[in-house]
Amino acid sequence: MKRFPTLFSTFFSTLIVCMTVLLFGCSEPPAFTSTDISGADWGKDFSLTDAQGQPRHLADFKGKAVVVFFGYTQCPDVCPTTLATMREVLTRLGDDASRVQVIFVTLDPARDTSQVLAAYVTAFHPSFIGLRGDDATTAAVAREFKVFYARQAGTTAGSYSIDHTTGSYAFDPQGRLRLLIRHGETPDRIAADLKLLLAGK
Rounded CA-CA distance 73/92 in Å is 25
Q: Whole-model pTM above 0.75?
A: yes
Rounded CA-CA distance 179/54 in Å is 27
Any bridge partners for residue 161, and if so which?
A: 152
Residue ranges per structural domain of the chain: 35-199
Q: Determine whether 109 is exposed, middle or buried from the number of CB atoms within 10 Å of its CB (0-12, 13-18, 19+).
A: buried
Domain 35-199, second-level architecture: 3-Layer(aba) Sandwich (3.40)
| pLDDT greater than 90 at residue 165 | yes
| pLDDT greater than 60 at residue 14 | no
Q: Determine whether 144 is exposed, middle or buried from the number of CB atoms within 10 Å of its CB (0-12, 13-18, 19+).
A: middle
Which residues participate in the annotated binding site for Cu cation?
Answer: 75, 79, 164
E-strand spans in the chain? 35-36, 48-49, 55-56, 65-71, 100-106, 129-131, 149-153, 160-164, 168-171, 177-181
pLDDT of residue 15: 41
Measured at the CA of 146, the angle between CA 52 and CA 158, to 5 degrees, comes to 65
Per the CB < 8 A criterion, the answer to whether 84 and 78 are in contact is no
| pLDDT greater than 70 at residue 167 | yes
Which residues participate in the annotated binding site?
Answer: 75, 79, 164
| pLDDT greater than 60 at residue 47 | yes
pLDDT of residue 28: 64
